[in-house]
Amino acid sequence: MTTTMFGERIARVEDDRFLRGLGRYSDDLMSGALEAAVLRSPHAHARIIDIDVEAVLDIVGVHAVLTYDDLTGPMADPLPLLIPHPDLTHGRTQYALAKDEVNHVGEAIAFVVADNRYIAEDAVARIQVQYEFLPPVVGIENARAAQQLVHADVPGNVAAHVEQSFGDAAQAIAAAPHSLSLDLVIERSASMPMEGRGTVARWDHDSSRLQVWSSTQTSSGVRAAIAHKLELDLVQVDVMTPDVGGGFGAKIMHPWPEELLVPLAARLLDRPVKFIEDRREHFISSAHERAQMQHVEVGFDDDGVMSGLAVEFWHDNGAYTPYGLIVPIITSTQLLGPYKPPNYSVTFDSLYTNTVIVTPYRGAGRPQGVYAMERTMDAIAAHLGKDRLEVREANFIQPEDFPYAQGELTFQDGRPLVYDSGDYPGLAAKARKLIDWDDFEKTRAEARAEGRQVGIGIACYVEGTGVGPYEGGHVHIETSGKVKVSTGLTTQGQGHATAFAQIVSDELGVAMSDIEVVTGDTRRSPYSVGTFASRSAVMGGSAIALATRKVRQKALHLAADALEANIEDLEIADGIVSVKGAPTSNISLGTIAVLSNPLRYAFDEASKAATQFAVGDPGKIPIAQGEEPGLEGKEFYSPPRSTFASGIHAVIVETDPQTAEIKILRYAVVHDCGTLINPQIVDGQVHGGVAQGVGGALYEKMVYDEHGQLLNASFMDFLMPYVSEVPAGIELDHQETPSPLNPLGLKGAGEAGVIPGSAAIASAIEDAEGFAITSMPISPSELYDLRLHHANQGAHQGAHQGATS
């Protein structure tokens, strides 16, 4: 009998290939292809007066030099604004190559194709550009002041002003027994995948067909963009996503200029062309995220129960808005987390600065929202002298409240913000036990006796996952009995080849070893959306399950005819369809696949069984109306709205009394992503997210100077946590509240580990130090300065009291 696979801790089937160095990434493809390099702006804001490429034209080995003036048709238009929004009144996108003006350091100006990257880089260095310098706008405060403008036609540097609310927050806060206001900051960071962006293209002159390989999170999106910009029919473009060395959101942004310029050059030259981004390019020309300034006002009663919450924040979207307002919209709606304030208002301005664009980075606006909400919860508890976890529990949505609508808010998918299912008190009970919350004061006293300083922190979150509009799955059983599964979703380490095979194994009754999963190939799956927003399992898994069920029904129907049995009397196990109670009356799925495709010609022994003189009833139409040849099924899943995962992180830190070094002693996660396909894969996703959350809380910060120059654009200067800084032995527990919105009860898990990291660690540091933490990430030197500030403030207050007594 086939062993049940769904829900089991099965080792990832793809890991053997990677561990043996057999991965195939963009730079491994198309050996001998021409290679490209990009001239990028060294200035944050300047007008382009002239570009002189004469010195490049005679370099041996240079095949093409492109500037904006060489672009025609749709290629000469700005890049697409991917997600329009009615409140994005001043959306702006860049050109594939800068036209007239550059708006951040790293913006593409010229594109050189040569025999190899060395020659291309040398050629780029010879291009002369004459600039007229313009004053840069750097940082949210300068963008708000608007003394200078990023785009001359955008008043106040405001790309969008958005307001959402329910109830009357201002009146509720004014009438509340207690009220507080907080001003918070979360700084700019970036994802830093091991592999940067990469694109390879080949033009087939004979078939007028373009083949593109791109390190992307959406092969179908890149395909559509290339077809439009190069004025090709969609069927003329194939986009394949090879192995991808990390995405984390930067690669859902598309099309990057190089994803268009490489195919353009390949067609112009009738030669394969490759572009591979180097690390500095990734720092200065890919996407960043996180930077916001926040102002929070809250009213609450003696138990800490919120009566009103008003939030205003300012979001730095960088120089352009190609991904629309997704990040700040998520912040504004996911900020509410597992809580149910009866009155809420949120307002945000999305602001232009002369810095790298901001698009989703793992967490995508949620870390900022959770930071605002959880800092507020801690402030309420401190004001009332109450336990921080108890204050949270007093504000929880209860299990019986689901489905729960957060007023009339609209989520990032354009649908009402309605939570599908959850048990937040259950999560809190698990977290309390896992981190030993109730016994922490004993731990604190023991540490204090040793001259050590420790603190405990906690943060809750709700994560909208599985956003639409749709995803597809295709399942095909070969005559060998092997099962081929394909989906347009791309893979960057999520374990799709394992998790999707587990679904198919259980649904179809075949061994995992007989299942092969292909992702991100538009030749196999031309209709898809992409891998982002913790949606792969929910969307792709549901579509594949539906497709598999379709194949199963067809197999049973054909087997019933072959075995002269009723469908209800059949079962499938180990790839064999048999009659229940009569296991010797059986037929393999491979044989059924042969019979499913009536043939005129026999190509091997197996196919003889499907030819016209071998098939039984000559009076029966070979393919009945409404049926198709082949044992395969294709289905699409489109959700009514998003599913909502949830969780709680708790952390214990030690802060050195002398050096202010911050050390994580324990880190605990309780997570609910509905039904678990493979708990081991989910554990790995959470562990990786926690590592990024630690980086975002304690290390990773993009530092620009007043001229718009990125000061730490290398791994020499941009700090990331090593294995020595990531908590060892992350303590993890799962809770499963299935979603009623999809056939498998799934919710997303990909971003859960990173979302509450800054909030939880800020909470723990504040608990250790005894003063408010209002800006993240925080370094030891910044914590040291805060200590001095509060010590001086305390001394000043003491002196003032002494003078007046």
Q: Is the pLDDT of residue 805 over 60?
A: no
Name the residue type at position 304: G
Single out the residue of 265, 272, 113, 258 nearest to residue 204, CA to CA.
272
Single out the residue of 699, 398, 365, 406 nearest to residue 534, CA to CA.
365
Residue 257 in 3-state DSSP?
Answer: helix
DSSP structural state of residue 172: H
Beta pairing partners, 351: 158, 316
DSSP labels, 450-519:
TT--EEEEEEEEEEEE---S-EEEEEEE-TTS-EEEEES---SSS-HHHHHHHHHHHHHT--GGGEEEEE
Q: Is the pLDDT of residue 48 over 70?
A: yes
The per-residue pLDDT of the chain, averaged, comes to 95
**361-418 pLDDT tens trace:** 999 999 999 999 999 999 999 999 999 999 999 999 999 999 999 999 999 999 999 9
User: What's the Cα-to-Cα distance from 307 to each of 171, 173, 182, 389, 462, rounded to whole Å?
Assistant: 10, 7, 16, 18, 20
pLDDT: which is higher, 275 or 610? 275
C-alpha angle 672/417/395, rounded to 5°?
A: 60
Q: Distance (Å, rounded) from C-alpha 507 to C-alpha 543? A: 12
User: What's the Cα-to-Cα distance from 385 to each of 115, 181, 183, 390, 798, rounded to whole Å?
Assistant: 69, 17, 21, 11, 23
Assign 599 a pLDDT band (cuts: 50, 70, 90). confident
How much is the pLDDT for 626? Answer: 79
DSSP labels, 370-429:
HHHHHHHHHHHHHHHT--HHHHHHHHBPPGGG-SEEEEEEE-TTSSEEEE----HHHHHH
How much is the pLDDT for 86? Answer: 96
Q: Distance (Å, rounded) from C-alpha 115 to C-alpha 132? A: 33
> Is residue 345 within 8 Å of residue 170, measured between CB atoms?
yes
Q: Which of 101-105, 491-495, 597-601, 637-641 has the lowest mean pLDDT?
A: 597-601
Residue 35 in 3-state DSSP?
Answer: strand
Single out the residue of 134, 723, 220 nearest to residue 487, CA to CA.
220
Q: Distance (Å, rounded) from C-alpha 417 to C-alpha 124? A: 49
> What is the longest distance spanned by two Cα atoms in the chain?
112
Strand pairing report for 178-186 and 775-776:
parallel
Q: Is the pLDDT of residue 619 over 80?
A: no
Mean per-residue pLDDT for 428-437?
98
How much is the pLDDT for 93? Answer: 98
As given in the structure block, the two tokens for residue 460 are 């809750």
C-alpha angle 751/715/133, rounded to 5°?
A: 100
- Is the omega angle on the peptide bond into residue 255 within 30 degrees of 0, that is, cis? yes
* H/E stretch holding 297: strand 292-300
Assign 604 a pLDDT band (cuts: 50, 70, 90). confident
Mean per-residue pLDDT for 123-136?
98
How much is the pLDDT for 273? Answer: 98
Q: Distance (Å, rounded) from C-alpha 781 to C-alpha 793? A: 18
Mean per-residue pLDDT for 661-676?
97
> Is residue 253 within 8 Å of residue 323, measured between CB atoms?
yes
**444-457 pLDDT tens trace:** 999 999 999 999 99
Count of beta carbons in the 10 Å neighbourhood of residue 526: 18
Q: Is the pLDDT of residue 616 over 60?
A: no
Assign 649 a pLDDT band (cuts: 50, 70, 90). very high
Q: Is the pLDDT of residue 1 over 50?
A: no
Q: Distance (Å, rounded) from C-alpha 577 to C-alpha 552? A: 10
Count of beta carbons in the 10 Å neighbourhood of residue 770: 11
Q: Distance (Å, rounded) from C-alpha 502 to C-alpha 680? A: 13
Burial of 764 (0-12, 13-18, 19+ CB in 10 A): buried
As given in the structure block, the two tokens for residue 493 are 């380490």
How much is the pLDDT for 67? Answer: 98
Q: Is the pLDDT of residue 792 over 90?
A: no
Report the share of the chain in percent with pLDDT over 90.
92
Q: Is the pLDDT of residue 612 over 70?
A: no
DSSP labels, 554-575:
HHHHHHHHHHT--GGGEEEETT
Q: What is the CA radius of gyration of the chain?
A: 29
**728-772 pLDDT tens trace:** 889 999 999 999 999 999 999 999 999 999 999 999 999 999 999
Q: Is the pLDDT of residue 803 over 60?
A: no
Q: Distance (Å, rounded) from C-alpha 646 to C-alpha 686? A: 12
Count of beta carbons in the 10 Å neighbourhood of residue 177: 10
Q: Is the pLDDT of residue 710 over 50?
A: yes
How much is the pLDDT for 420? Answer: 97
Mean per-residue pLDDT for 66-83?
98
Q: Is the pLDDT of residue 329 over 70?
A: yes
